[in-house]
Chains A and B, each alone.
Chain A
Amino acid sequence: MADGDRLKPVLKWFEQQGWQPLPFQRETWQAYLDGKSGMIQVPTGSGKTYAAVMGAILEMLQAPSSGLKLLYITPLRALSRDIQQSILRPIQEMGWNLRVESRTGDTRSSQKSKQLKNMPDILITTPESLAVMLSYKGAKERFNSLRAVILDEWHELLSSKRGTQTELCLSHLRQLQPQLKTWAVSATLGNVQEAAQAAVGIGCEPVIIQSNLQRQTIIKSILPASVDSFPWAGHLGLRMFQELVDALDINRSTLIFTNTRAQAERWFQALAFAVPEYLDRIALHHGSIDVQEREAIEAGVKAGQIKWVVCTSSLDLGVDFQPVERVVQIGSAKNLARLLQRAGRSAHVPEGTSEILFLPTNALELLEISAFRSGLAAGDVETRRPLENPYDVLVQHLVTLACGDGFKADECLETIRQTVTYSQLTDEEFGWVLDFIEKGGKCLGAYPRYQKVVQTEGLYQVTDQKIARMHRMSIGTITSNQAVQIVYTNRRKIGTVEENFVSRLKKGDVFFFAGRQLEFFMMKDMVVYVKNTTRKSTVTPTWGGGNLAISDSLSMYLRSEIERFQPDANSNQKLNQELECMLPIASTQKRISHLPASNELLIEVCKTREGQHLYVFPFEGRFVHEGLGFLWGYRFASQQKATFTISVNDYGFEILAPKDYPFKQLFGDRFFDLENLYENIKSGLNISELTQRKFRGIAQVSGLVFKGYPSARKDTNQLQVSSSLLYDVFSKYEPDNLLLKQAEQEVLLDQLETHRLTKTLDRLSQLNIVWKETKRPSPFAFPLLVERLNSRMSNESLLDRIERLKQQWMNK
């Protein structure tokens, strides 16, 4: 068949719309109809949904059959409605006989059970809902006619446990249906090939379709009227709010991105204070605000009633905001990919220009703006890599399969190794996971009453319906602290906050949430009841996990920005306005200490009343600095004992030691040694405390803690246990448990980014070290001094610690 013929029905619909298919759309449809799998990488808003689905629809029209044929997987259930609408449009207008439905956590359960019996032609779902479907018997028949899976916003899932879960579910679908085609849709990534491979699975050659659409991104900044010679403190940057208001226009629809929810709350208040007359045109949108209210805000923006939305990554994705004209980023976006994504929310048409207004929250962020511009100009963007062997997700997946039709070990292992994430899984590791779900662990006889997965004639299955029910309720890999609902006394929902915030509140306390001033009334059954109030307070809830670090790519540009201040390097090149604005700081830095060139590592020592400070400026991002700080701390302390306080930010780290600690004398080349790197870091920081925190998520994903519903039934009441208690028990009785090992790996790789640390040490060892003794902290050191987000490193005994804490407590 000629290509034009194959595409006829779709071309006809495009023609009716007055559209011309874009080359990348045609290319995708043809590749699909040739039976290929692959990945589409185009800017958001350029028609990727139709590129992705039309191939499959054409196939359905050519060869009609009953049953489910296309699965469309989206990371956000809120998006499923929009996607369903756009898929339905051509179907309805052309009168094609195809049924489209969604299935997410929000779908009614009656609808869900109907779907299990009678699947639509096209089903839009989330990774979690797909996993739940696999946990019911009859998956083989259910997915018997499946021809294709589309993975939307794959870059968002790829390097998370949700991405791993998706890879696993897809590998299982491919086992059931070897001819299955997979098409991922992704934003710009540094590792396109790997991302595509993870989507289609190993053993399949992905077609990569990139558009030649040029989306220009322009960064502008909102500069403070003047910059002191010291960077100001306060990471909220609120003192710039008047400048922001002046730069905005209430008639132009604008998204104002912040990095944390707490920051969004505060900025919303500031704007509401600045333009009270427009209060009905300003809104606040973040992940803890109730879904219905968020949907109302999204609708308001679309309809043009709401003009300014202060938001977090909650609006990074999704809903096509055609009318958004401007995007503002408050504080550094910390990586190029995120900046591009956010900038892309404006001018949501194929070849538009994206413009982003950048508001620095401290003076050193001016450097970052400048670095962003250089990074974008070079076309650089970060890579997002699939995880490596997260055992917890595998445990969950195997139990999911066992709840459904069951699995056979050999066949299952072979399938799992088709995922990029588990391609290196060893027989031993897989054996451990099998033992864990079947017998409770490797330790023989330790778990005589254990029952979960039962093996009969080589088939692993869950036979106890109670266990299957509990498992289905805990499917998913999104873990967060226990959230409690916030509700008005008339029961209208406002959103959720973390339990540990609420636990500090007493009746009558006033706090800010969802842009409202609320009075705490009472808490009952995981619900907080509140009333509106006009009484003043400055408390804003905090949410965990808000710390972002600058990326590998960005840090490189950051270092070269500093270079541009060197007089000789830039004699013929004018500084841009951000660097111009920063000049007072640069010259103070130079006068008090030194401005490091790209072949220099600046180390400052400074004596204050607090003690002896060591400042090191590798400009590698806070996570790398945390690892490096502990490593060097350990290497100092192993020569001369001390208690240190280590502080980090994206530019450098500080080690604070007692008076007259001889940093310089103790320092030497061996500080850059890669030997015993992990061991040194582990002895340096209290790794068990960090590991324990990571274990919380792992315990939840692997089904060790059961959250279920709060109005717990009898059986689940007996299962209440904290993950820290589990951590202690496992460490003591089964120290070889792979889930403990995974927690440690997550600390080293995700939190301390030790892979970057090795590269960093290597780079630093080649630099000339410039030691400066300063009389007072330099502008670079100042933020470390005032915004101390730090940890302690010490070899005090438990009793000493209690005595010290007791003194503090008595003095309160």
Chain B
Amino acid sequence: MKEIDVLGMRLQLLAEKAVYLEDKQTLLVADIHLGKSETFQSLGIPIPNRVNQTTLDRLEQLCLKVKPQKLFVLGDLFHSKYALVDEVLEGWSQFQAAVDAEVVLIVGNHDRPLIQVLKNTSIQCSTHAIEADNLLLSHEPSPQQGFLNICGHIHPCVHLKEKLDQLRLPCFYLDRTQNLLVLPSFGEFTGAYEVSLERNSAAYVIADDCVVALER
């Protein structure tokens, strides 16, 4: 775990790829991409569907450990229309039943086409970014003056390289100029996009169960 301070707010960056706001007892995760394996399967590429359960198990473990009052999913809970099959939706309801927190999905670009179906489920959706004090929670980055914007969408990772060795690690990406914090993608079967570190930005990389800061 790594604690950072932005605009006077204390944020815990967890190695489980989530942010915990202790003051608000709120847990944030992004880009879960449930049903990505089913999407691939439907189009002829065999990805085992156990990746869903592994993802959900991790999320459940995390919730049982931190005991948040609220859990915000910052978009892309589901991967595509092929994801909305019984076994995937069922897994999600079981998760919701198992944790005490109130769960809210801020709809992401992958969820948006599914909104009609999602409305018929027990999932609480918000189609807009959510403001709370000087915190702005969204899927895509949407920094605003005076706010700390926490978002997903990018799936950031850092590529570290020297002559003999290289590593590609998922990370939290912080842009201090814009007060923007991007979460790593939470889902098991998700790719990552390499970010480059400019001045006034930092990456907090996840290495097994540690969070290591990279800032100059």
Contact = CB atoms under 8 A, between A and B. Distances in A.
Given A447-B48, A798-B207, A810 B216 contact: yes
Contacts of B169: 802
Interface string B127-162: 000000000000000000000000000000000111
B49 A449 contact: yes
Given A725-B191, A809-B214, A718 B46 contact: no
Given A801-B167, A805-B162, A449 B41 contact: yes
Contacts of A449: 38, 41-42, 49, 82, 85
A645 interface: yes
Contacts, number: 113
Interface string B156-184: 00001110111101000000000000000
Interface in A788-808: 790-792, 798-799, 801-806, 808
Most chain B Cβ neighbours within 10 Å, of A790, A805, A810: A805
B44 A809 contact: no
Interface in B43-59: 43-51
Contact of B160 (A436, A470, A704, A809): A809
A747 B166 CA distance: 20
A151 to B, nearest CB: 31
B87 interface: yes
Interface string B30-48: 0000000011111111111
Interface in A211-250: none
B123 interface: no
Interface string A697-721: 0000001101000000001001111
Given A447-B46, A470-B44, 19 more contacts: A441-B48, A449-B49, A449-B82, A450-B44, A466-B43, A471-B44, A706-B45, A715-B43, A718-B79, A719-B40, A721-B191, A725-B191, A729-B47, A733-B51, A734-B48, A790-B164, A805-B166, A806-B212, A809-B160
Contacts of B160: 802, 805-806, 808-809
Contacts of A801: 165, 167
A452 B167 contact: no
Contacts of B43: 466-467, 470, 706, 715, 718-719
A722 interface: yes
Closest 10 CB pairs of A and B: A440-B46, A452-B44, A805-B160, A450-B41, A449-B41, A733-B48, A792-B164, A446-B48, A449-B38, A808-B162
A451 B207 contact: no
A443 interface: yes
Contact of B212 (A448, A471, A802): A802
Contacts of B80: 718
Contacts of A703: 44-45
B92 interface: no
Contact of A792 (B165, B208, B212): B165
Interface in B187-210: 188-191, 205, 207-208, 210
Most chain A Cβ neighbours within 10 Å, of B48, B49, B162, B205: B48
A466 to B, nearest CB: 8
Contacts of B39: 718-719
Contacts of B166: 805
A798 B212 CA distance: 12
Contacts of B164: 645, 790-792
B131 to A, nearest CB: 31
Interface of A: 436, 439-441, 443, 446-452, 464, 466-467, 470-471, 645, 703-704, 706, 715, 718-722, 725-726, 729, 733-734, 790-792, 798-799, 801-806, 808-810
Nearest to A797: B208
Chain B residues touching A, range: 35 or more
Given A715-B43, A806-B214, A448 B49 contact: yes
A752 to B, nearest CB: 19
Contacts of B162: 804-805, 808
A443 B214 CA distance: 41
A439 B48 CA distance: 11
Contacts of A805: 160-162, 165-167
Nearest to B85: A449
26 contacts: A440-B48, A441-B46, A443-B48, A447-B41, A447-B46, A447-B48, A447-B49, A448-B49, A449-B42, A452-B44, A645-B164, A703-B45, A721-B40, A726-B47, A729-B48, A729-B51, A798-B207, A798-B208, A801-B167, A802-B169, A802-B205, A803-B212, A804-B165, A805-B162, A808-B160, A809-B214
A726 B45 CA distance: 10
Nearest to B35: A449
Nearest to B38: A449
A702 to B, nearest CB: 10
A448 B41 contact: yes
Given A645-B164, A722-B191, A799-B210, A451 B49 contact: no
A452 to B, nearest CB: 4
B93 to A, nearest CB: 18
B170 to A, nearest CB: 12
B49 A729 contact: no
B40 to A, nearest CB: 7
Contacts of B40: 719, 721
A726 B47 CA distance: 8
A464 B1 CA distance: 48
Contacts of A733: 48, 50-51
A802 B213 CA distance: 10
Nearest to A788: B163
A808 B216 CA distance: 12
A704 B210 CA distance: 33
Most chain A Cβ neighbours within 10 Å, of B42, B85, B169, B210: B42
A703 B44 CA distance: 8
B45 A799 contact: no
Contacts of A718: 39, 43, 79-80, 82
A530 B170 CA distance: 33
Nearest to A799: B207
B202 to A, nearest CB: 12
A696 to B, nearest CB: 14
A594 to B, nearest CB: 30
Nearest to B42: A449
B32 to A, nearest CB: 15
A443 B189 CA distance: 18
A393 B3 CA distance: 50
B187 to A, nearest CB: 11
A136 B188 CA distance: 38
A467 B41 CA distance: 11
Contacts of A720: 191
A726 B165 CA distance: 22
A440 B214 CA distance: 41
A660 B205 CA distance: 36
A791 B161 CA distance: 13
Contacts of B161: 805
A440 B208 CA distance: 30
A734 B46 CA distance: 11
Nearest to A805: B160
Nearest to A643: B164
Contacts of A470: 43-44
Contacts of B44: 450-452, 464, 467, 470-471, 703
A722 B193 CA distance: 11
Contacts of B45: 703-704, 706, 719
Interface string B59-94: 000000000000000000001101001010000000
B76 to A, nearest CB: 12
A446 B191 contact: no
B15 to A, nearest CB: 12
A271 B4 CA distance: 58
Nearest to A689: B166
A252 B104 CA distance: 77
B24 to A, nearest CB: 31
Contacts of A706: 43, 45
B104 to A, nearest CB: 25
A804 B42 CA distance: 43
